[in-house]
Amino acid sequence: MTDTLEPTPDHGAEHHSHGYISDKKRYLARLKRIEGQARGIHRMVEEEQYCIDILTQISALTSALEGVALGLLDDHLKHCVVDAAKLGGEAADVKIKEASDAIARLVRS
């Protein structure tokens, strides 16, 4: 009944499309592939495949994740941050701080 879309009182007007909704199917497909990559790496270790080949797959997975993160961040800036900026005031400051912190985590991870 109550599905997952119940209003979230904070960071979200009640309909709150979180920006990436337009591309949601594409994100889900990319994340399915990422899950498959993770499973593949597990299998490679299980089968004791060659380290270097496993490392290559880990780099590929990391790049794929990075791509998703950069896409989500771009969507977030385009929608949530722009909306908050229009409101101005503290709401805008909070959104910017949040975005900057997320960027720092991405750059450093």
Give burial (CB, 10 Å; 0-12/13-18/19+) of 92.
Answer: middle
Q: What is the per-residue binding string for its own copies in 2-21, x denoting contact by CB under 8 A?
A: --xx--x--xx---xxxxxx
The whole-angstrom separation of Cα 106 and Cα 109 is 5
* Contact (Cβ atoms closer than 8 angstroms) between residue 79 and residue 19: yes
Instruction: Give least dist CB 35 to its own copies, A.
Output: 4
Size of interface with its own copies, in residues (CB under 8 A): 72
Instruction: Give least dist CB 108 to its own copies, A.
Output: 7
Question: Tell me, what DSSP letter sits at residue 44?
Answer: H
- Using CB under 8 A as the binding rule, the residues of this chain from 45 to 104 that contact its own copies are 45-52, 54-56, 58-63, 65-66, 68-70, 72-78, 80-82, 85-86, 88, 92-93, 96-100, 102-104
